[in-house]
Amino acid sequence: MASADAATHDDHGHGNGKVPGALRGFLKDDHEWFYFQTWMILTGLFIISYIGPFIGEALHMFAITMVTAFGIAVVKAGLVIKRFMHLMDEPKFIWQMNATALVFILLFFFWVAPDVMSHEGANWGNQAGASITMTTHIEDFDPDVVWTERCATCHGEEGRGDGPAGTAIYPRPTDFTSRAYWATADHDIMATAILDGGVALGRSRYMPAFRTAFAAGHGGGHEGEVDTLPGERTEQLIARIMTFRPPPEAAPAPAPVAVPTREPTPTPTPEPVIDDTVALDGYGLIPGGEVVPAPAPAPTGPSEAELAARAQYIQGRVFN
C-alpha cells in the first residue's frame, strides 16, 4: 500500500506528484493519472475520427474519411490493448493466441471476400449491386428493351417496383402503377431521376444516373454540339413508364366468378378519382391535356376448367 506522499520514481510508481491539483480527489496516484491521460488521447482521437468525414466530404476526398475512420480505430484499439489491458505485461503466449485468432479471421476474409464482393457467381447474382454500378453505354436504344434490361431489375417488368433487385432494397423503387404516385408525378422530376439519379433529387441513391449510358458515345455527336440523345431517350422512357399509369377512373370490377359462397361479395372500395388535368399538367407529353388511353389490362383469370374445379372444391367444403 503506497501512501500518497511517497516519492515518485517513474510513471508506474505510486506517488501522485504528476496528478494535476484539480484531479487529486479523483485520481489517487500517477499510475491513475497515466490512465486518465490515455483516456484523453482516446477522446482526442475520437474527435478526429468524428470530424474526419465532414472534412473528407468538404474536400471531396473519401480517402480522408477512410483514414480517419479506420486508421484511428486501429490506433485507439492499440492504446486500449496496451495501456488498459496490459497485454504486453502478460506472458508471450497470451498475445500469440490472440494473434492466431486474428490470423484465422484474416484468412477467412481473403478466402471468402473475392466471391462475396463480386456481383455474379455461377448460380447467383447480386442484381441490386450490379444494376446500381452498371452504367455501360447503350448503343441501340429501344425503350422496351432498355426498360427490361436496365430498369426492370428494380422497377419490375410491370413497373410495380417489385423487380428482383427492387425487393432487396429500401426504400423500394417507385410504384408506377399506383394512383397516388400519378396524382403528384412530375415530368421534370422523372427526367432528373433518370438522367442524374436519385442522388440529384436528394432521394434514394439506388436510382442510378443514366445520362452517360444514354449519351452518343464515341464518334456519335459532333465536336462542340450539345448531345441531345440523353434527353430524347429519357423522354422515350418516360413515355414507356406512362403506360403503367392506371386508367383515370376506377377500373370496372371483374366479372363475378360463378363460385357459390355464403360470404357476401365485398363491394370494392372506390378508387380515388384522379383529376387528370392536374395530374398531367406537368407532362409536356400530352398536348392539350388529352388523356392517353391506358391499354386495357389483358384478361388474366383462371381458365374455365380451373374455375369449374374450384367451384366443385369449394362446394364440397362449404356445403357438406
Partner 1 sequence: MMGKPIATTRTVMGVSTGKLAVWWLIVSEIVIFGGLLASYVMHRIGHPEWAASAAHTDVRIGGLNTMVLLTSSLMAVLAHAAAGRGDGPLAAKRLAVTIGFAVMFLCVKAYEWTTEISHGYTITASGFWQFYYVAAGIHAAHIIAGAIIMGFVMMQARRNHELGRVELIGLYWHFVDLVWIFLFPLLYIAK
- With CB cut-offs between 5 and 8 Å by kind, which of ligand HEC, partner 1, none does residue 189 bind? ligand HEC
State the number of CA atoms in the 13 A half-sphere of 52 facing the CB: 19
- Long-range contacts (CB closer than 8 Å, 24 or more residues apart) made by 207-216: 207/154, 207/173, 208/131, 208/132, 208/133, 208/134, 208/135, 209/135, 210/135, 210/150, 210/234, 212/135, 212/137, 213/135, 213/136, 213/137, 213/138, 213/150, 214/138, 214/141, 215/137
DSSP type of residue 88: G
Give me the least distance between CB of 10 and partner 1, in Å please.
15
Q: Which does 313 bind (CB under 5 to 8 A by kind): ligand HEC, partner 1, none?
A: none
The three cell numbers of residue 261 are: 359462397
Could you give the string, one character per residue 69-108, with x where binding to partner 1 holds by CB under 8 A and - elsewhere? xx-xx--xx--xx-xxx----xx-xx--xx-xxx-xxx-x
Is residue 233 near ligand HEC by the rule CB under 6 A? no
Centroid of chain to Cα 163? 15
Closest separation in Å from C-beta 96 to partner 1: 10
Closest CA to 208 of 274, 278, 121, 150: 150
The Cα 65–Cα 126 span in angstroms is 27
Q: For ligand HEC, which is the closer residue by CB, 32 or 158?
A: 158
Among 52, 56, 198, 230, binds ligand HEC (CB under 6 A): 198
- The rounded distance, in Å, linking the Cα atoms of 47 and 45 is 5
- What are the cell numbers at 173? 423503387
Q: Alpha carbon of 272 to those of 175, 188, 248, 275: distances in Å? A: 16, 24, 9, 9
The contact pattern for partner 1, residues 151-170, with x = CB under 8 A and - = no contact, is: --------------x--xxx
Please tell me whether residue 165 binds ligand HEC under the rule CB under 6 A: yes
Site for ligand HEC contains 31 (CB under 6 A): no
CB of 247 to partner 1, least distance (A): 31
Q: Are 135 and 213 in contact (CB under 8 A)?
A: yes
Beta carbon nearer to ligand HEC, 56 or 161: 161
Per-residue binder mask for partner 1 (CB under 8 A), 10-39, x = binder: ----x------------xxx-xx--xx-xx
Residue 125 per-residue DSSP state? B
- Indicate the DSSP class of residue 68: I
Q: Which does 174 bind (CB under 5 to 8 A by kind): partner 1, ligand HEC, none?
A: ligand HEC
Q: Which residues bind ligand HEC (CB under 6 A)?
A: 128, 131-132, 146, 150-151, 153-155, 165, 171, 173-174, 185, 189-190, 193-194, 198, 203-204, 206-208, 210, 237, 241
Q: Which residues bind partner 1 (CB under 8 A)?
A: 1-2, 14, 27-29, 31-32, 35-36, 38-39, 42-43, 46, 49-50, 52-53, 65-66, 68-70, 72-73, 76-77, 80-81, 83-85, 90-91, 93-94, 97-98, 100-102, 104-106, 108-109, 112-113, 116-119, 126, 128-129, 132-133, 165, 168-171, 204-206
